[in-house]
Every structure is written in structure tokens, then in C-alpha cells.
A = this chain, B = another copy of it.
């Protein structure tokens, strides 16, 4: 089998990290091509309509044989089906996709907490608005979303502590990343509220202990969180 090729920005976790985690857990060969020498032109070609019939609007993009797949949740739909990271049944596959899209909604809102006005402006030029939006995000949105995921997890309790069915799926990997990202960006708000989601914290630990994920997290392949990514820690955005 040809290795998968992941096209994503080379210096951040970002949305590409959800794909990296799935590839690592699946234990399949892949190239994170923009981190290789001369990789950036290949990334740019993957989103250039002049160079492919299936251009993505933005990274991440995954090349899987002849397929070129964009949008994080679409890539995970593919990897889930091909590498046992989602149930085989239609109901299970749809449920995973639905949960992943709800995770994507939180991720979008986490991004907008530091960029509420424009992605074309620096954070410093929308800091006042970012404070307002972050206050709303931590006080209203995080508890609503994580409360929802906790309920879904509890409703599936007794089947091994996974989100979907009785086996690990890409949804569990993505929730691990979401919890890590939110704790990096908003450590005080997350610590204050954590009693509300014991299941999600246990799931986070369970994913981190999986041998392939643990090896990945300890490797240089795992980039650090930073203030260039989606989850950013600006102390002034927390109270």
C-alpha cells in the first residue's frame, strides 16, 4: 500500500491534528508532507483548482491512493471506514460523523474566541471583542457542548467507556484532542468546571494511554500547542 499523504500546515496542530491522531492510532504509513523539505509546494498544489479536479478549500487534505479528500470530518469518515475506527453499520458510521461535526462546531467556536471579528486581523486588533466572546465561550458554550458529550458518553456507559459502541472510534480520539485543546487554552475555566464531566476526563486519559497514541505524544511528530493554532492560551481571555 502507498503511504497516505497528509497536507497540513507544518508548524501547528490545528485541524490537521484530528487526522494525525487517527493515522497514528490506525498504525498506517503516512507522510506529513509539508514538514518534509520542499513539502510546502505540494501542500499548495493540493488546494489549487488549477492542479487538481478535487481542490479542497483549505487544509487538511489527505491523499489516499487516487482520492484527494478535504474537510477534517470527511477525512475521518474515510479513515474510520477503512481502518476500523468507526462501526461498520450505517447507523454507527452516521452517528460518528454526527458527533464529529459537533466537535467541529466547538473547534470553530474555540477559534473565534480569539478571532471574533476577522481571520484577516491580528488577535491584538480584536482583543476587546475576543475578551467578550471568550467570556461567553467559557461560561456558556463549553459547558453546553461538554455537557452534551458527557451525556452521550454516560448513555453508552458499561460498554467500555467509549463514545460509540464498545470499541474505540475516531470520535474518542477527537474528543481527546478537544479536551487537551480546551485545557491548554482555558486552564482556569476548565479546572473550575471539570467536576461536570468525569467521563470525558477518563476518556481523555484512556486515549492518552493507548500504546500508539502514547508513543505519538512522546515523539517529535506531536507538535506543541501554540498561539499560532486554533487553541490559544491568552491569559487575559480568562478570569
Interface presence of A116 (CB below 8 A): yes
Give the complex CA separation of A77 and B95 in angstroms. Answer: 12
SS class of chain A's interface: helix, strand, loop or mixed?
Answer: helix
Which residues of B sit under 8 angstroms from A117, Cβ to Cβ? 116, 129, 132-133, 136
Judging by beta carbons under 8 Å apart, are A69 and B94 in contact? yes
Please provide the chain A residues from 117 to 163 with a CB less than 8 Å away from any CB of chain B in the complex: 117-118, 120-121, 129, 132-133, 136, 140, 145, 148, 151-152, 155-156
Residues in B neighbouring A145, C-beta threshold 8 A? 57
The answer to whether B53 and A155 touch across the interface, beta carbons within 8 angstroms, is yes
Q: Which of A37-45, A100-108, A187-195 contacts B (4 or more CB under 8 A)?
A: A100-108
What chain B residues lie within 8 Å of A116 (beta carbons)? 112, 116-117, 129, 133
Say whether A73 faces chain B, with CB atoms less than 8 Å apart: yes
A55 lies within 8 A of B152 (CB):
yes
How far is the CB of A224 from the nearest CB of chain B, in Å?
26
Residue of B nearest to A129 (CB): B129
A123 to chain B, nearest CB (A): 14
Residue of B nearest to A136 (CB): B118
Q: How far is the CA of A136 from the CA of B91 in the complex (A)?
A: 40
From B54, B73, B132, B148, give the contact of A118 (CB < 8 A).
B132
Which 9 A-B pairs have CB atoms at the shortest separation, nearest pair first? A118-B136, A49-B151, A71-B101, A74-B98, A71-B98, A57-B102, A74-B97, A117-B132, A70-B98
> Which residues on A are within 8 Å of B, measured CB to CB?
49, 53-57, 66-67, 69-71, 73-74, 77-78, 90-91, 94-95, 97-98, 101-102, 105, 108, 112, 116-118, 120-121, 129, 132-133, 136, 140, 145, 148, 151-152, 155-156
